[in-house]
Amino acid sequence: MHLPRHVVFCAVVAWIGMCAPVVAQRTWTVDPGGSGDFKTITDAIAAATTGDRILVGPGTYPEQPTIAKSLVLLGYQAVIDGFVVRRIARDDLVVLSGFHIATGQRILLEDNAGYVALSGCTSISYSWDADRRPAVFVNKSTHVTMHGCTLSGTGVIIDHSEVAIAQSQISGVYGSWSLLGSINSEPGIRATSSHVALSFVDITGGSASGFKVPQPSPAIDSHASVVIVAAPSSLVAGRTFSSPLIYFAPAVRGDATTMLYADPMVRAVASDISVPVVLGTTPILLAIPSLAAIVTRDANRDFVIDTEVSVRPSWVSALLIGLPGSRQLVDPIGDLWLDPRQPIVLLDVGTTGKDGRRAVRVCLPSSLPDGTLVGLQSLLLDPSRLRLSTPLTVVLR
């Protein structure tokens, strides 16, 4: 994403006080060859105390450790059999960044009242893999964010949770039949009784082949949920590669209790022109501001966040920066996802003469520890209406 430097903001050092809950107490290292503090991630988690960081070196880790306290885990070329993050208390934080989930394994986020962030995590499965299933399962968790993740052929299941996904690519499980058995296709995202906010995402449903598994899946399968999709994003249904081609899927499948808010510029494609793009629910088309960001470091090793905000004639545009926090309903198409108990920096971008995007650069000091979460939301305001962007959470590293 190329961003012209139209607007530059440098956050004051006092902003560090906002990050006090996530300052690391100690940093541990994990290396399977024995050159770190531990050979396994499980042992490192057991030894770590609340707020510690764990740096995981390159290698394969055939384990699925459980996390039940505030920790920041930063992986580098690390392949793992997944994680279980369970019962994270309110105001506590878990960050999982840079991990590749082995085929057939998953990250389980369950019964969490605190914050859980996945950043730069990947997984992949192919049509010939015998064990294919969703790589991320979120259950009864209220502060989950995913940023910069690529889940190919695996997908995400969200149940009774609140999840924000940004700048990610997700495709569902490929359905197929063989003499060894059958695997049904899965949607890119399956949401049940949940609140899901999407921006800058590409979601694809699982395709299918074989005469016993002919049914492809939609990009999103939603039941009793609120789904918000901001542009630019794409929702593409899976396809059937069997003959005859008589089975198709919509881009989004919902029910009477699903509320789908989508920007008219979102690209939505069914698997055939004879199938409705959205089935089972009526989309509400609204222009929802979107937000994306790139995190780098400058010559002084300070953190630099480049982003863009939406601007409109006679509307005031602004950028909110802070820690992710409790959801507060502000607008029918969005919630405020920043913590109201923390000081919020309001960077006023001002009014503009035409529709478009305006670049913003935020500078944060290098004294902030790797693994710090930064929440971003843009807003548009006129005398009668406030409109919030879908939320974005980035990890400083």
Which CB contacts under 8 angstroms, 24+ apart, belong to 72-80? 72/22, 72/24, 72/97, 72/369, 72/370, 72/371, 73/41, 73/97, 73/99, 74/98, 74/370, 74/371, 74/397, 75/99, 75/100, 80/41, 80/56, 80/105
Q: Select from 261, 288, 315 the last residue of a domain.
A: 288
CA 148, 47, 110 angle in degrees (round to 5)? 45
Per-residue pLDDT of the chain (397 residues; tens, 9 = 90+): 444 445 666 654 344 444 444 444 899 999 999 999 999 999 999 999 999 999 999 999 999 999 999 999 999 999 999 999 999 998 899 999 999 999 889 999 999 999 999 999 999 887 666 667 789 999 999 989 999 999 998 899 999 999 999 999 999 988 877 656 677 889 999 999 999 999 999 999 998 886 665 688 999 999 999 999 998 899 999 988 766 666 789 999 999 999 999 999 999 999 888 889 999 999 998 888 888 999 999 999 999 999 988 877 777 888 888 888 777 777 767 788 887 666 677 766 666 566 778 888 888 888 888 899 899 998 888 767 788 888 899 999 8
Query: Residues near 147 by Cβ (< 8 Å), separated by ≥ 6?
Result: 117, 118, 119, 120, 165, 166, 167, 168, 392, 393, 394, 395
Q: Select from 243, 259, 288 the last residue of a domain.
A: 288
Question: Is residue 277 located within the same domain as residue 171?
Answer: yes
Confirm whether 60 is domain-assigned. no
Q: Give residue 324's domain range.
A: 293-395
- Beta strands at 195-204 and 162-172: parallel, antiparallel or unpaired: parallel
CATH number for the domain harbouring residue 320? 2.60.40
Q: Select from 230, 262, 288 the last residue of a domain.
A: 288
Question: Is residue 256 located within the same domain as residue 306?
Answer: no
- Whole-prediction pTM value? 0.91
> Using an 8 Å Cβ cutoff, are 261 and 286 in contact?
yes
Question: Is residue 281 located within the same domain as residue 310?
Answer: no
- φ and ψ at residue 19, rounded to 5 degrees: -95, 10
> Using an 8 Å Cβ cutoff, are 84 and 59 in contact?
no
In order of 15, 135, 363, the CA distances from 299 in angstroms are 21, 37, 12
Number of domains in the chain: 2
